[in-house]
Structure 1
Amino acid sequence: MKSLKITTLVAAAAVAVSTFSLPAFSAERVYKLKMAETWSSNFPIFGDAPRNMARIADEMSNGRLKITIDSANKHKAPLGVFDMVRSGQYDMGHSASYYWKGKVPNTLYFTTMPFGMITPEQYGWFYYGGGMDLMQKVYQPFGLLSFPGGNTGNQMGGWFQKEINSLDDLQGLKMRIPGFAGEVLAKLGAKPTNIASGELYTALERRTIDALEWVGPSLDLRMGFHKIAPYYYTGWHEPATELQFLVNERTWKKLPDDLREILRTSMKLASYDMYIQSYHESAENWATMKTEYPNVQVKTFPKDVLMAMKKANQELLDEKAAEDPLAKEILDSQAKYLKKVRVWTNISDRAYLDSVDSLAE
């Protein structure tokens, strides 16, 4: 089934690329690129995206574009992908933009933001609302190009061993939560930390941490968190988590025009495929959790807690914008686009779901 789906995507992409009337190349030179990924070998969904991309590029180019992928197990630097692609050690990378906030703070905004856009809205901003141009403005000084690399959809708010009933319950809470959301919780008195994925279950089981967020049912089921933390909170912090493809600019410029377009299209198709795969797997895995672990309780944070989170988030955004003109440009662009697009989301998707759900009551 998977191969059939990818074959269909490749066929559609081939038709799309043909509309560009790209020149025919008489010399059948093969371009071999190396990619480093943040993920370990056989990591589901996240690791599928770059492999699907490489397969699509190979098939669309009739074998002229070959991309080999080194997992973190091989290159030993899961959070070193930015530097390895920048230096030319690798031609490409697959990771997440917010991992680089320590070295380039403005990369943070191109993964997802608390209380921000959902996936369709964010893709609209990237491709039609100026997001791609702003992302390139951030990455170009480092000799890099960044492209959307696959979306998880709305992530869950995390697994908790104790119920969160008020802001007092956040005081001193040790939680694995990365990115901007960690800064938000720290502002409210929690103690955010980042722990390698292979250590998360043990840390939660031994009470080294009190709570953690990972992704959602699509990836959480295999981690087993539901066995030791019964409260599963709905999301607020990562409504549209977008991974990224990084490309070394020197490598990009060496490719002929047709292969650049094939690579661009392959990345876009693989990103979309990851989004629908994530959505499907979350539905499948939640059904399994609900059946096999009926004690798991889905919770939503109390309104006063969410309001405090949103207030802290806005204060931090204002600080970032005041410190850096480019950060302000990015954040203003996102806020302006969200204000416009959310009106349509509300009268289309939200209204439809509310109407249909009311019929079931």
Structure 2
Amino acid sequence: MKSLKLTTLVAATAVALSAFSLPALAAEKVYKLKMAETWATNFPIFGDAPRNMVRIAEEMSGGRLKITIDSANKHKAPLGVFDMVRSGQYDLGHSASYYWKGKVPNTVYFTTMPFGMTAPEQYGWFYYGDGMKLMEKVYQPFGLLSFPGGNTGVQMGGWFRKEINSVEDLQGLKMRIPGFAGEVLAKLGAKPTNIPPGELYTALERNTIDALEWVGPSLDLRMGFHKIAPYYYTGWHEPATELQFLVNERTWKKLPDDLREILRVAMKVSAYDMYIQSYHESGVNWATMKSEYPDIQVKTFPQPVLNAMKKANDELLTEEAAKDPLAKEIIDSQAAYMKTARVWSNISDRAYLESVDRLDQ
């Protein structure tokens, strides 16, 4: 999807870089880079973000940056992007930071956190708070740089075969749920697992799992989960799921300064455009779901279940902070930023929506 706003921003940025004359740039070295993505070929929204980035980078560089993308069905390692970019097999990757928590636990905090920041709050933390600095601290020891790669906004709580009425219903529940939320559910007796996107429907259909969370209406309906699991729960675990662009640091250092800046801008613009696209698609698909799939039962977890999840989440955060000074720095930074930003979110977005809801219709 190529929005008017995206095109305008790219054009404006290109003008800002007009000090580099196109005839001169065309004669300079062409840098050919390779990117591995976690997603399958033509995967909507998630796959659009890296392709937008590639197109923007090539246009803004006058053809000096040419990036090819290998999808998961080609490189065969959807959850291996971290290692492939780190080793130099690929120059860049597009994935999600919390997929690497088994390798580097502190990567988990840079996708989203249960009961955490909304997308605008989290973008503020990344770009105007300590987010980018702390992410660099985590990734640089592995020869990697990480940049925000596109946000889904609030994700739904998942598709369940059976209704969740109590904390006891989570006991032994086999659920695909990655990141810190998986640890929260494990603490409450569930059995979380992480499964690549292309295998989710089959796992649910074959009873390998009892429930799963994926994204929300923007992507879930086309995956067909509602055909098997009719209970669709609202979110708690991923209020601002940010994907990531991974860059091999050796590749980054080989690029001229202007191409680094072009790449940085291309990643930032395509990430924000994914957020807009995801929001749009969720709104459209939610309306479709309500009219075409009336058997889907939209639920919110009972308050005792949410309370138990929040208590488990807080206990786990305390444990992680006690074990690792860098984890504590990240956790404290996010909590402090959210405390400040949430006051504004409440008096702006929340107050506006509540005021509109009270109007006579």
Would the TM-score normalized by the shorter structure come out above 0.5? yes
Unaligned runs of 5+ in 2: none
Asked if 1:221 is matched to 2:221, the reply is: yes
Specify the code of the residue in structure 1 equivalent to 2:215.
V
Shift of 1:134: 0.4
**CA RMSD between the two structures:** 1.7
The answer for the alignment partner of 1:139 in structure 2 is 139
Q: Are 2:296 and 1:300 aligned?
A: no
TM-score, with structure 2 as normaliser: 0.95
Kindly provide the CA deviation profile for residues 325-345 of structure 1, in whole angstroms up to 9, marking residues without a partner as x. Answer: 000001100000000000000
Counterparts of 1:284 and 1:295, CA distance in 2: 18
- Of 196-205 and 350-359, more deviation after overlay is shown by 196-205
Contact map agreement 2:40 2:198 (CA 8 A) in 1:
no
Alignment of 1:52-71 (within 5 A): 52-71=52-71
Q: 1:95 Cα shift? A: 0.7
Structure 2 residue identity aligned to 1:274: M
2:247 is aligned with 1:247: yes
Q: Which runs of 5+ in 1 are unaligned?
A: none
Which letter does structure 2 place at the counterpart of 1:287?
A
Structure 1 residue 255, shift from structure 2 partner: 1.0
- Segment of structure 1 superposing worse, 339-348 or 27-36: 27-36
User: What residue number does 2:121 align with?
Assistant: 121
Q: Relative to 1, partners in 2 of residues 1:308 and 1:251: Cα closer, same or farther, differing over 3 Å?
A: same
1:185 aligns with 2:185: yes
Alpha-carbon distance in structure 1 between the residues aligned to 2:54 and 2:208 = 39
Aligned with 1:359: secondary structure? Answer: coil
- 1:2-81 matched pairs, under 5 angstroms: 2=2, 6-17=6-17, 27-81=27-81
Q: Which moved more, 1:338-347 or 1:4-13?
A: 4-13
* Matched-pair contact (CA < 8 Å) for 2:119–2:153: yes
Aligned residues: 359
- TM superposition shift of 1:44: 0.7
Q: Are the structure 2 counterparts of residues 355 and 15 from structure 1 closer, same or farther at C-alpha, using a change threshold of 3 Å?
A: farther
Q: CA deviation at 1:270?
A: 0.2
Measured in 1, the distance between the counterparts of 2:61 and 2:330 equals 35
Superposition deviation, residue 290 in structure 1: 1.0
State the secondary structure of the residue aligned to 1:150.
strand
In 2, are the aligned partners of 1:152 and 1:215 still within 8 Å (CA)? Answer: yes
2:345 corresponds in structure 1 to: 345
Deviation at 1:160, TM superposition (A): 1.2
Q: Deviations over 1:226-284 (max 9, x none)?
A: 12222111100000010100111111111111111110000000000100110111111
Identity level (%): 84
Does residue 1:357 correspond to 2:357, yes or no?
A: yes
Distance in 1 between residues matched to 2:144 and 2:13, nearest whole Å: 25
For the residue of structure 2 that corresponds to 1:117, the secondary structure is coil
- After superposition, what is the alpha-carbon deviation per residue over 1:39-81, rounded to whole angstroms, capped at 9, x for unaligned? 1111111111000000001111111111111111111111111
Amino acid aligned to 1:294? P
Q: 1:336 to 1:264 in 2, by over 3 A?
A: same
Distance in 1, matches of 2:141 and 2:197, equals: 31
CA–CA distance in structure 2, aligned partners of residues 195 and 78 of structure 1: 10
Query: Is the contact made by 1:17 and 1:261 (CA closer than 8 Å) also made in structure 2?
Result: no
Q: Does the 8 Å CA contact 2:186/2:192 hold for their aligned counterparts?
A: yes
Asked whether the 8 Å contact 1:6–1:56 carries over to 2, the reply is: no
Q: In structure 1, the residue corresponding to 2:29 is in which secondary structure?
A: coil
Alpha-carbon contact 2:39-2:197 (below 8 Å) kept: no
- Alignment partner of 1:2: what SS? coil
Paired letter, 1:303: Q
